[in-house]
């Protein structure tokens, strides 16, 4: 393997894009974050990164995107950015035959799991690790999951699926009415979903999730506290439903700004209570499952780097 090879790696979310360089001898370096609101396309972000002075030649790339990837085409779920690998390769001026990989952003986090260090993870609940499957659950601008089996990760679009019956029933009880506006998982479990849930619970509009968390932490008896703690309980119920669906014996790994904000707050207790609510065989499965929070917001870049460097190592062609 050529130790002089440099690849570009990235993680494109709904709100921010993180780009870096990686190589067999340098690991991940030159990480930069970009506010997507300042750009009209992913190509424009790449051009800005590529224009840095003294940037080395790039022999390949892997970019993870917050949306579905079909073949060599991508489309962000929460931003009108779309295109294909060929267009990105041209923007990056990759040499002929160079590998240009596109993967889902949650799949990138799945690929990152084996290389995460203790400082990038926080334990929510110990369990009994078994098998070779894990599940990454991303809650930020949107919602999605990625199943990890051994060394491979698979993308999904679970945010567009309906809520499980147990979550829907508890949500209906919390609101005292039919929760028609929460007709998908992402419409509840995401940044905009948390804001919408607060409006439904309290009748009060709020600017965003960060303000909601500030009010909660300032006053544990506030309307914000009732919203956050109820939402955390509902998330626990959802998480327990994910266990038989994906059989993540190695653990559930929560990622994303909203997941980190809520699960690293006192509302963690309500989340764990919701996770333990279901009785019977499902409860026994949930009790065995370890729960983690990925605390490093740039961890997806490490997953992209692993994919890109594996391609270099094996000599795979795009």
The pairing of strands 252-255 and 291-294 is parallel
Name the 3-class secondary structure at 164. coil
Checking if the pLDDT of 316 tops 60, the result is no
Tell me the CATH number at 278. Answer: 3.40.367.20
Q: Are residues 203 and 176 in the same domain?
A: yes
126 and 236, same domain (yes or no): yes
Q: What was the pLDDT predicted at 314?
A: 74
259 and 124, same structural domain? yes
Distance CA 100, CA 94 (A): 8
Q: Give the CATH number, domain containing residue 78.
A: 3.30.420.40
Other Cβ atoms less than 10 A from the Cβ of 301: the count is 26
DSSP 250: T
**For the segment 208-246, what is each residue's pLDDT rounded down to a tens digit?**
999 999 999 999 999 999 999 999 999 999 999 999 999
Residue 74: pLDDT band (50, 70, 90) is: very high
- Smallest CA-to-CA distance from 27 within 55, 48, 7 is with 7
Nearest residue to 32 (alpha-carbon basis) of 9, 6, 61: 9
Q: Whole-angstrom Cα distance, residue 233 to residue 159? A: 18
Give the three-class secondary structure for 294. Answer: strand
Q: Establish if 2 belongs to a structural domain.
A: no
Distance (Å, whole) CA 255 – CA 22? 22
Comparing CA positions, the residue from 219, 233, 297 lying closest to residue 262 is 233
Average pLDDT, the chain: 92
Rounded to whole angstroms, what are the CA distances from 115 to 10, 109, 140, 273?
16, 10, 22, 30
Question: What range defines the domain where residue 99 resides?
Answer: 7-110+298-314
78 in a domain, yes or no? yes
For residue 222, report the phi and psi dihedrals to the nearest 5 degrees: -80, 170
Q: Are residues 146 and 78 part of one domain?
A: no
Clarify whether residues 195 and 236 are in a common domain. yes
Mean pLDDT across 143-156? 89
Q: 252 and 126: one domain?
A: yes
User: Partners of 20 in the beta sheet?
Assistant: 9
DSSP string, 29-74: EEEEEEEGGG-S-HHHHHHHHHTSTTPPP--EEEEEESS-EETTEE
Residue 1 domain-assigned (yes or no) = no
Residue 161 falls inside a structural domain? yes
What mean pLDDT is predicted for residues 165-185? Answer: 95
pLDDT tens readout for residues 266-286 = 999 999 999 988 777 777 888
pLDDT score at 197:
98
pLDDT tens-place string over residues 98-130: 899 999 999 999 999 988 888 899 999 998 888
My answer on whether 180 and 161 are in the same domain is: yes
pLDDT band at 2 (very low <50, low <70, confident <90, very high): low
């Amino acid at each position: 393997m050529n130790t002089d090879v440099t690849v570009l790696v990235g993680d494109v979310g709904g709100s921010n894009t993180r780009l870096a360089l990686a190589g067999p001898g340098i690991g991940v370096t030159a990480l930069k974050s970009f506010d997507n609101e300042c750009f009209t396309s992913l190509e424009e972000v790449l051009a800005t990164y590529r224009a840095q002075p003294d940037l080395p030649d790039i022999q390949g790339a892997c970019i993870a995107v917050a949306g579905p990837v079909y073949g060599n085409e991508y489309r962000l779920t929460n931003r009108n950015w779309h295109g294909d690998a060929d267009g990105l390769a041209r923007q990056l001026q990759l040499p002929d035959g160079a590998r240009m990989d596109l993967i889902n952003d949650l799949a990138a986090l799945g690929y990152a799991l084996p290389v995460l260090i203790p400082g990038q993870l926080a334990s929510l609940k110990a369990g009994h690790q078994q098998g070779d499957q894990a599940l990454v659950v991303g809650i930020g601008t949107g919602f999605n999951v990625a199943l990890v089996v051994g060394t491979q990760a698979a993308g999904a679009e679970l945010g567009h699926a309906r809520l499980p019956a147990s979550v829907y029933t508890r949500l209906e009880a919390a609101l005292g009415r039919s929760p028609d506006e929460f007709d998908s998982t992402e419409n509840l479990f995401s940044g905009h979903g948390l804001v919408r849930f607060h409006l439904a619970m309290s009748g009060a509009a709020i600017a965003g999730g960060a303000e909601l968390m500030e009010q909660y932490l300032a006053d544990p008896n506030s309307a914000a506290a009732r919203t956050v703690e109820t939402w955390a309980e509902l998330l626990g119920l959802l998480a327990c439903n994910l266990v038989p669906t994906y059989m993540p014996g190695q653990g559930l790994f929560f990622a994303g700004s909203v997941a980190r904000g809520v699960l690293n707050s006192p509302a963690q207790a309500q989340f764990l209570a919701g996770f333990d609510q279901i009785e019977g065989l499902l409860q026994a499965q949930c009790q065995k499952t370890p729960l983690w929070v990925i605390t490093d917001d740039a961890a997806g870049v490490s997953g992209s780097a692993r994919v890109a460097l594996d391609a270099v190592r094996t000599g795979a062609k795009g």
